Amino acid sequence: MVLSRLVVTGFDFHAIRSEFRLREDFSEQALAEAEAAVDRHVGERADRTDIEFVTIDPPGSMDLDQAVHIEKHATGFVVHYAIADVGAIVVPDGALDTETRERGQTYYLPDGSVPLHPRMLSEGSASLLPNELRPAALWRIDLDSDAEPVAWSVVRATVRSIARLDYAGVQADVDAGTPHPSIAALAEFGALRAQSALRRGSIDITLPEQEVVGSGDSWRIELQRRTDVDSWNAEVSLLTGMCAARIMIGAGVGLLRTLPPASDDALTAMRKTAEMLDIDWPDGASAGTVLAGLESDAPETLAMMTEATGLLRGADYAAFDGELPSLTEHSGIAAPYAHVTAPLRRLSDRFATEICLAVVAEVDIPSWARAALPDLPAVMRASDSTASKVDRACIDLTEAMVLSGRVGEKFGALVLRGAEGKRDAEVFLHDPIVIGKCTGAPPEGEKVTVRLTIADTDSRRIEFAYDSQ
């Protein structure tokens, strides 16, 4: 199994929560602040309840950071993007502020989330739930006929979403030719933005949802194709983050998400994996173009996308106030970029949004936001590291669970990497879809038969063995 959206039915991940000290509960003081939260900027807001926003999220989601409205006109598009204004309701230096800085982000496990904010706030009073008046940081982005931005701004506003939509439902409506009027232009906008991304040289690692379900006395993995709507909706968020980065770079103060260019070794490894998987890589094609052309629900694509994560190593946060950082670009997006669209779920977005609001309004940046900048990169690095470890632990546990009871069985596999020194080989199985260590030095690039020797849910470990005989 590879890192992607993972849904597991009927299995307990509590041990992983305990191991990484992920706690749902908040202090009484933080809960009291969340309960009593009020909009400190209520009198400053523009009333934009005239815009018929909708939200697009997975089914059942309640922590709704974003609401969107896209309009096409004669010369291009206008995107209105409302982001929950968390900075207006979390008291600076209060108990809740302190606890969110300790957490850094919401952590997602297959059996539920561990939230950044108390649910009464993140899934209640601050969430952009339908038919509720909510404080928002409202972005307006004007784009030309190729969906390239020509102007952007952000202001505090009061908004109201009129519908909570999900990806599959929106996709069905688009396929039927009856998209919701608020996002009737989403498909055209999204396709143009995807083309823009490839022209820039961006790299999109797109993985389908993997659902692990019970099948008699065992488990099986079912792949669910990622909808086009999912990708189109992501383009709205990416566009907003690029505009936010340009605002902060122009002002000489802010917080960027950065990524150095991919190393030659990573590109070489990816090309080798493509060759082993019989994936065509035309002469002159970029890595992003090759990835964009893959079928997202094919097992080979999952292996290829896993290898492609090597292109995105070194992601970081760069805070600055005066002199710009040496690296301002995110190579995966192929542009400067900032996190501003998920403040209910990610700490840094609250501060970056506050800076953008102040710069656009030509007012002083609040001292609480500016003073936090030097500390935010370390906080976010730590929380990202924890999130990555939690993801890996969940995948390891799920792989062991899926293969439990099958020790001794033989499987067809492709050898992605041969053994080197003390490092065992790595093999890729189509069914079930897993990547695991393999002893016995199988030949790299070859299709072989391997035997499962370890599938232990306690240690979250799987291992295969190859016997050339």
pLDDT single digits (tens) 276-297: 888 999 998 899 999 988 887 7
Cα separations in angstroms, 144 against 78, 79, 150, 200, 355: 9, 11, 7, 17, 26
Please give the Cα distance from 166 to 465 (Å, whole number).
Answer: 43
Please give the Cα distance from 239 to 71 (Å, whole number).
Answer: 15
- When the pLDDT of each residue in the chain is averaged and rounded to a whole number, the result is 92
Please give the Cα distance from 356 to 131 (Å, whole number).
Answer: 27
Cα separations in angstroms, 83 against 32, 43, 283, 339: 24, 18, 42, 12
pLDDT given for residue 87 in this prediction = 97
Q: Quote the tokens at residue 148.
A: 């390239």
Domains identified in the chain and CATH numbers: 6-260+314-402 (no CATH), 404-466 (2.40.50.140)
pLDDT given for residue 218 in this prediction = 57
The residues with which 336 forms a beta bridge, in sequence order, are 329
The amino acid at residue 212 is V
Q: Do residues 333 and 238 lie in contact, with contact meaning Cβ atoms separated by under 8 Å?
A: yes
Please give the Cα distance from 453 to 76 (Å, whole number).
Answer: 59
- pLDDT single digits (tens) 363-409: 999 999 999 999 999 999 999 999 999 989 988 998 898 898 899 99
pLDDT given for residue 12 in this prediction = 76
Residue with tokens 């070489």: 268
Strands 6-8 and 112-114: unpaired
Q: Does the pLDDT value for residue 179 go beyond 90?
A: yes
Q: Do residues 276 and 270 lie in contact, with contact meaning Cβ atoms separated by under 8 Å?
A: no
Q: Quote the tokens at residue 151.
A: 């102007």
| C-alpha 457: how far from chain center | 27
Please give the Cα distance from 93 to 89 (Å, whole number).
Answer: 12
Number of residues that this document lists for the chain: 469
Q: What's the predicted TM-score (pTM) here?
A: 0.92
pLDDT given for residue 376 in this prediction = 98
Question: Which has the higher per-residue pLDDT, 192 or 422?
Answer: 192
What are the backbone angles phi and psi of residue 275, rounded to the nearest 5°?
A: -65, -45
Percent of the chain surpassing pLDDT 70: 94
Count Cα atoms within 13 angstroms, Cβ side, for 105.
23
- Closest by CA to 76, choosing from 4, 143, 149, is 143
CB atoms within 10 A of CB 468: 8
pLDDT given for residue 298 in this prediction = 76
Residue with tokens 């950071």: 65
Please give the Cα distance from 415 to 425 (Å, whole number).
Answer: 7
pLDDT given for residue 114 in this prediction = 96
- pLDDT single digits (tens) 326-345: 999 999 999 999 999 999 99
pLDDT given for residue 303 in this prediction = 81
pLDDT given for residue 104 in this prediction = 97
Residue with tokens 């488990």: 219
| pLDDT band per the 50, 70, 90 thresholds, residue 215 | low
Q: Residues near 438 by Cβ (< 8 Å), separated by ≥ 6?
A: 413, 415, 424, 425, 426, 427, 450, 463, 464, 465, 466
Q: Does the pLDDT value for residue 299 go beyond 80?
A: no
pLDDT given for residue 204 in this prediction = 86
Q: Does the pLDDT value for residue 6 go beyond 60?
A: no
442: exposed, middle or buried (C-beta count within 10 Å: 0-12, 13-18, 19+)?
Answer: buried
Residue 87 gets which letter from DSSP?
G
Please give the Cα distance from 292 to 361 (Å, whole number).
Answer: 38
Count Cα atoms within 13 angstroms, Cβ side, for 310.
17
Cα separations in angstroms, 395 against 3, 83, 144, 310: 7, 31, 42, 18
pLDDT given for residue 3 in this prediction = 38
Grouping H, G, I as helix, E, B as strand and the rest as coil, residue 23 is coil
Q: Do residues 48 and 157 lie in contact, with contact meaning Cβ atoms separated by under 8 Å?
A: yes
Count Cα atoms within 13 angstroms, Cβ side, for 94.
17
What are the backbone angles phi and psi of residue 26, rounded to the nearest 5°?
A: -120, 160
Looking at residues 122-147, what average pLDDT do you find?
98
DSSP alpha helices (H): ranges in 129-223?
167-175, 186-200
Q: Do residues 257 and 338 lie in contact, with contact meaning Cβ atoms separated by under 8 Å?
A: yes
pLDDT given for residue 302 in this prediction = 77
Grouping H, G, I as helix, E, B as strand and the rest as coil, residue 323 is coil
Please give the Cα distance from 368 to 421 (Å, whole number).
Answer: 51
| pLDDT band per the 50, 70, 90 thresholds, residue 212 | low
pLDDT given for residue 2 in this prediction = 38
Looking at residues 268-275, what average pLDDT do you find?
89
pLDDT given for residue 211 in this prediction = 65
Degrees, nearest 5: CA angle 70-74-170: 30
Q: Do residues 415 and 425 lie in contact, with contact meaning Cβ atoms separated by under 8 Å?
A: yes
pLDDT given for residue 9 in this prediction = 56
Percent of the chain surpassing pLDDT 90: 75
Helix axes 376-403, 347-361, angle to 10 degrees: 140
The amino acid at residue 149 is P
